[in-house]
Structures are given as C-alpha cells and as structure tokens.
Amino acid sequence: MLREAFPCLHQQVNGKPLVYFDNAATAMRPQVVIDAVTDYYCHHNANIHRGVHCLSGRATDLYEQARASLARLINAPSPDNLIFVRGCTEGVNLVAQTFVRERLQPGDEILISHLEHHSNIVPWQIVCQQTGAKLKVIPMNDQGELVLDNFDTLMTERTKFMSVVHVSNALGTINPVKELVQKAHAKNIPVMIDGAQATPHLKVDVQDIGCDFYTVSGHKMYGPTGSGVLYGKAEHLDAMPPYHGGGEMISKVTFEESIYNKVPAKFEAGTPNIAGGIGLGAAAEFIMDVGINTITEREDVLKKYTEQALQGIDGLRILGQAQHKSPVFSFLIDGIHPHDIGTIIDHHGVAIRTGHHCTMPIFQFFDVPGSCRASLAFYNTEQEVDILVESLNQAKAMFA
C-alpha cells in the first residue's frame, strides 16, 4: 500500500495512532525522498557546477536531473524554464521585484484574488508601496468561489499584472486558472499562478494553462522543506534582471562590471539547497510513478466521505462549499474556539490546523477570526476520518 511509503505516518501521538490531517501546511515525505537526500549527503556531498572532481560532477548531475523531473511534472517546455527557489514565497517575491516592479508607474494596478495566501498578497503590497501602484482584488462569494461576472471590467488599461492562486489552502477552492489566463492575455496582462496547493493534488500543465509564471512549493508535494521551483516563460526570464548577486550567476566579473550567466543560473546565486533540490526531484518522480490521476481519484473519494461525515456533526459549519475543490475543510463548531478543538483532538492523536491559515482576508469575509482545517492527502483513510469525527464529538461533549 502506498501509505507504507511514508514512515512518519506510522507512529503514536499521546498514546494514539497518528491521524495526520495537516497536509495543506506541509505534507509527509515518502521514503524515496528521504533516501534521495540521505544518499546525496552520504555519497555525493559536494558543491555543484563548479568542481571538476568526481563528487561535484555526480552532485551536479543529480541536481540537474531533479530540474528535468520537475519540468516533466508540470510539462514545462524545458528544464531551463525552472529556477530553484526556497518555495512559492520566494518565487512570488522574485517575480514581483524583477519582472513586475519595473513595469509599474503610479496609478497602475496589480490584480489578485480574495482567496490568496499572505505570500501572494504582501509582496504585491510592497511593490505597490515602492511604485505608487494599486492592488485590486477579484471578489469571492459565500461558497468560497471567485465572482467572475464582472471580471473583464476589473481589468483596465492600468492593469499591468495578475497573480492568482490555483488552489486555496484555506477553503480548497480550485480556481479556473486557464480561463483567467486567457482573459488576462486578451488584454496583454501577464499572469502568475501560485501552485503551492495544486501540484500535490492536480495535473498541472503550465503550457496548457498558458501562464507566464507558475510557482511550486516542495514541502507541499512530499518534498523537502525550503525547496521549490519557479516556472517562467523563456522570453521573460531572459529579459529579467537577477534577483540576487554572487557566485554562479555570473560568467565574468571585474571591478568595473559583471556579465551575468544564462538562465537559469542567472537567478541561482550562491550555493543552493542541493539536497533539497535533489529530494524535490525525487518527490516529482514519486508523484509521476504513483500517477496524478490515481492521486486525484483517491482524494475525490476521501473528499466526499469527509464532507458527508462532517455534515453529520450538529453545530458544525464548513466554510466554503465550492463546486470544484481539493480535500480541504475549514470548519467551526458552535460555541467552541478552534484552538480548543485542535488541542482536544490532539489528545486523540488527530493533527489539524487552527487559526487563519495565512489567509486573514478570507476569514474577514466570513466575519470569523479563524477556523479548524482538516486537509487530506491520498494516503489518508476513511478510518482516520471516522476517528476525526469521533474526536470532534468528544470535544463537543466536553463543552456541552
């Protein structure tokens, strides 16, 4: 069973078998990813791209093979379209400062959505402060879906860029990103997609979506923390200035000037997270070996089972009921604070997330400070959902 591939799942917490429903925060790692990281440190530990000795060559090959694996996972035209970053947050900031900032004048607009994680809000606020541009927001409805009736009118001649999330980490809403890209491109507006929550759950094809940039978070897709990639169209990456300066991103340095290296090296200054990149490549191969359709089908079954089970709890309210969503459930129980619920069910071995999930504007919309969030992955089981429901009912009984 594929669940056996994830060693961290097989333990007890507070004397109970672990039920891990915090996958939207960070997913578990399969043994093949752990082995890939360990193998690098045990057998190939060297810096990459610069050494002529054997270990450096082997490490470089592994690192670039990982880039190629990730390109296949999201169907990028070439591995050279991918820049290794620490995660989606760095990817968004890189594009904000090197592609978008220089395009903005006072009064120009950046378009985002109400469903964004803070990492796809704050970088754009910083750019607006730097340039005098304005942030515009695509609204959402009570179902947790974007309101697109007047989407075309939101885009004006002053709109210079759009950045939207593919899948909401708080509500699970799957946005129609291909449609959004097409509408934006019809008005010559470049688009970035935050794919942190998409690559573990959906088939991602950046060429089919048509976006200009797409960010991937390693630790959400069973890879190491502090890893990720930014996809960009070649013409954009070639034109963009480097984000950091230092070794590797140059081809020649004098005291008078520096000549930058070609893409992707131009954006990868200094010694990277080599082990993390190699581990992320192993995670991409793992997803492709399992099959994204297999993952999606299994998670659809779990999603329906969980939704029905939660709806059977009196006083429980699920926030966001989008027609298309991933297996993420943000909920409240009447009369009980989310933190109290999270603490109580932890004693039953159940791990969920409580709070605002780095999406404060979503909870301002619902006029609540936060929620409980149960986020599932394909290695979870119906039996674990039953344990969640039982623990929630016991929490209710304590506060009755």
> In the structure encoding, which two tokens stand for residue 73, read together?
């996972």
H or E element, residue 134:
strand 134-138
Whether 358 sits among the annotated catalytic residues: the reply is yes
Distance of CA 354 to the CA centre of its chain: 19
Q: Could you tell me which of 267, 264, 262 has the C-alpha nearest to residue 242?
A: 267
Biggest CA–CA distance in the chain, Å, is: 74
Contact by Cβ (8 Å): 342, 350: no
Contact by Cβ (8 Å): 155, 184: yes
C-alpha to C-alpha distances, 172 to 7, 83, 117, 219, nearest whole angstrom: 26, 27, 12, 17
3's CB contacts (< 8 A; 6+ apart) are: 9, 379, 381
Cα–Cα dist 149/143, whole Å: 15
236's CB contacts (< 8 A; 6+ apart) are: 99, 190, 212, 213
Q: Could you tell me which of 387, 372, 293, 375 has the C-alpha nearest to residue 327?
A: 375
Pick the catalytic residue: 42, 54, 211, 358? 358
Omega within 30 of 0 (cis) for the link into 338: no
C-alpha to C-alpha distances, 50 to 46, 59, 153, 249, nearest whole angstrom: 10, 11, 51, 12
Contact by Cβ (8 Å): 134, 110: yes
> In the structure encoding, which two tokens stand for residue 381, read together?
């089981």
Contact by Cβ (8 Å): 19, 347: no
171's CB contacts (< 8 A; 6+ apart) are: 115, 144, 319, 320, 322, 325, 328, 330, 362
Which residues are known to be catalytic? 358
